[in-house]
């Protein structure tokens, strides 16, 4: 079954790939079978949420933002190499805009990891870190490394 069949079966719809927000490359191949995807924020068309976890936003809202960030990231992958060319996600780094007394960044990042489990059947390695601020006051930004088939 292709990744596109899995997306359809699981009712997962990718947004358009987000435009770059600066002077960088969104998708960089390295080694023979790896690609690095620059950080993608959580704004998707019709669903812009802003604020910090533990202050304006709940864990559940943060998980939805992490899911949206992962969908943006997958849209970049699709636009650059095609999702059917991906074997697995190797690693993600989730940045969570957090109030200084918020300590549940891993729970927030689960929203993005779950998308990968739903699509590829396995979770990647992962780090989830709190940040004092993120571009545009978005709650979540995720970057990733994928292995090509």
pLDDT at 47: 85
pLDDT in tens, 6-25: 999 999 999 999 999 899 99
pTM: 0.96
Domain boundaries, the chain: 3-12+26-140
Question: What's the topology of domain 3-12+26-140?
Answer: 60s Ribosomal Protein L30; Chain: A; (3.30.1330)
Which residues of the chain form beta strands (DSSP E)?
27-30, 34-41, 86-97, 125-131, 140-148
Q: Is the pLDDT of residue 45 over 90?
A: no
Matching residue, tokens 């088939």 = 149
């Amino acid at each position: 079954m292709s990744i596109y069949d899995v997306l359809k079966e699981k009712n997962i719809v990718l947004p358009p790939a987000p435009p770059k927000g600066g002077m960088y490359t969104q998708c960089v191949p390295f080694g023979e079978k790896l690609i690095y995807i620059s950080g993608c924020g959580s704004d998707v068309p019709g669903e812009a949420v802003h604020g910090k976890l533990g202050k304006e936003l709940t864990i559940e809202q943060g998980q939805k933002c992490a899911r949206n960030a992962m969908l943006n990231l997958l849209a970049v992958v699709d636009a650059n190499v095609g999702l059917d060319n991906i074997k697995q996600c190797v690693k993600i780094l989730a940045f969570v805009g957090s109030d200084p007394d918020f300590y549940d960044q891993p729970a927030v990042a689960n929203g993005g990891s779950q998308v990968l489990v739903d699509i590829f059947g396995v979770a990647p390695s992962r780090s989830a870190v709190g940040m004092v601020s993120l571009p545009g006051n978005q709650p979540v930004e995720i970057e990733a490394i994928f292995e090509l088939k």
